Structure formats: C-alpha cells, structure tokens
C-alpha cells in the first residue's frame, strides 16, 4: 500500500520537494544579501574612522589613500 501511495503521489512529492528547495535557496540568498549589506556598512564605518583619524593626525590624503587601498580622490570625498 505504501509503495502504491508513493507511486500515486510521486509527482506531487517531487514538486513539493522542488518548491521547498527553491524557497530555501531564496531565503538563503536574502539572508546572505542582508548579512553582506551589514558587513559592508561595518567595514565602511571602520574605513571612514581610519581616514578621519589619519587626517586628524595630519597625514596627507595621498598617504591615507595608500594605507587604505583607495584613491586620493576617494579619501578627499570622505573628508568633504
């Protein structure tokens, strides 16, 4: 009986499994995107603090840029 029911509902079970995987993938991607945004914000704040600290110490924009892996124009933009 069990095998007969499995056979009878095989397509429905397969579709339900597929939908569950798709839902899980979608939820995982959304969670990853949210975590990525949060991590990017945290890294951006850390970088901005470093730029402000170095600038307050009198370090030129070009040197700050080298230390932070940015262009001098990007450093100036943060300091504006």
Sign of CA dihedral 59, 63, 66, 69: positive
Say what the pLDDT of residue 79 is.
Answer: 95
User: What is the spatial distance between Cα 10 and Cα 13, in angstroms, rounded to a whole number?
Assistant: 5
Say what the pLDDT of residue 20 is.
Answer: 73
Average pLDDT of the segment spanning 1-29: 75
Average pLDDT of the segment spanning 44-50: 97
Sign of CA dihedral 21, 25, 26, 28: positive
Mean of the per-residue pLDDT values of the chain: 88
């Amino acid at each position: 009986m069990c095998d007969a029911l499995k056979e009878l509902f095989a397509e429905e079970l397969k579709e339900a499994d597929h939908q569950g995987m798709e839902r899980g993938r979608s939820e995982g991607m959304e969670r990853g995107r949210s975590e990525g945004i949060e991590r990017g914000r945290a890294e951006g704040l850390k970088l901005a603090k470093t730029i402000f600290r170095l600038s307050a110490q009198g370090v030129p924009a070009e040197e700050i840029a080298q230390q932070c892996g940015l262009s001098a124009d990007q450093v100036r933009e943060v300091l504006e």
